[in-house]
Amino acid sequence: MAKITKPLTNTEVKQAKARDKEYNLSDGDGLQLRVKPSGSKLWLFNYQRPINKKKANLSLGKYPALSLADARKLREQARSLLANDISII
């Protein structure tokens, strides 16, 4: 049974603090915010390549230059390409 992920809020993203090791906050459907020890925050989209079914990551951009809403839009665009078996890399 798949784990249900609660979508992130703007407050959670803004208040995510750096730790000793990098960590990810999941928004669901493959979208993650990676928080690095330096304090930088990066949006990632995790997916399976349509050709060979291997897992891959797509970097979408840095927060706050790319907001949560914009990252979600990019995730949906990437998911629609993958649904049509179009490779996004």
pLDDT at 1: 65
Residue 27 is assigned to a structural domain of this protein: yes
Residue 66 is assigned to a structural domain of this protein: yes
Beta bridge partners of 35: 23, 41
Q: Is the pLDDT of residue 89 over 80?
A: no
Helix (H, G, I), strand (E, B) or coil at 74: helix
Residue 44 is assigned to a structural domain of this protein: yes
Specify the CATH number for the domain of residue 66: 3.30.160.390
Residue 9 is assigned to a structural domain of this protein: no
Tens digits of per-residue pLDDT, 55-86?
999 999 999 999 999 999 999 999 999 999 88
Q: Is the pLDDT of residue 40 over 90?
A: yes
At position 38, the amino acid (one-letter code) is: S
Domain span including residue 62: 18-83
Q: Is the pLDDT of residue 3 over 80?
A: no
Q: How many domains does the chain have?
A: 1
Q: For the chain, how are helix, strand and coil distributed in percent, rounded to 5?
A: 25, 30, 45
C-alpha 15/C-alpha 86 separation (Å) is 35
